[in-house]
Amino acid sequence: MARVSGNDTTYIINFWASWCGPCVAELPQFSTLQHYYSNQKVKVILVSFDFPDSYPDKLNAYVKKKGLQPEVVWFNESNANEFIPKIDNNWSGALPGTLIINKRNHYKEFLERPVTAAEIEVMVASIKKK
């Protein structure tokens, strides 16, 4: 998994899969956020939990068809007992999930449910005030 490296950057990382109905329904929210924060130190990353037989061809076709603007990466880790605690100890592994993190401000929030762009914008605004 990619590491969060920019100390002054806020990362919005969404964990999703193309076979997950609630995930697919919220994907446009992340394209909205990508556009809204395009000139700011905020990075939106979509982490696909699609199955190995979907990577890369089916996943790339899906991303293109949906016109997803944020960076999309494929999650290829299979041991949930290892990767879940690295993301959030309270995560059951259910999708969708969204992690908002800013190292400089020591901010970390994990939401194990669908989110809206407006909800994320409020959270990011609170990080900037710290």
Helix (H, G, I), strand (E, B) or coil at 53: helix
Q: Which domain holds residue 43?
A: 10-128
| Total domains, the chain | 1
Structural domain includes residue 37:
yes
> CA–CA separation, 1 vs 78, rounded Å?
12
2 domain residue, yes or no: no
* 5 in a structural domain: no
Select the more confidently predicted residue: 51 or 121. 121
- Grouping H, G, I as helix, E, B as strand and the rest as coil, residue 12 is strand
Query: Going by C-beta distance under 8 Å and a sequence separation of 6 or more, which residues neighbour residue 36?
Result: 117, 121
> How much is the pLDDT for 44?
97
Where does the pLDDT of residue 129 fall: very low under 50, low under 70, confident under 90, or very high at 90 and above?
A: confident
Cα separation of 55 and 21, whole Å? 19
In-domain check, residue 62: yes
Tell me the whole-structure pTM to 2 decimals: 0.90
- Per the domain annotation, does 121 fall within a domain? yes
42 occurs within a structural domain: yes
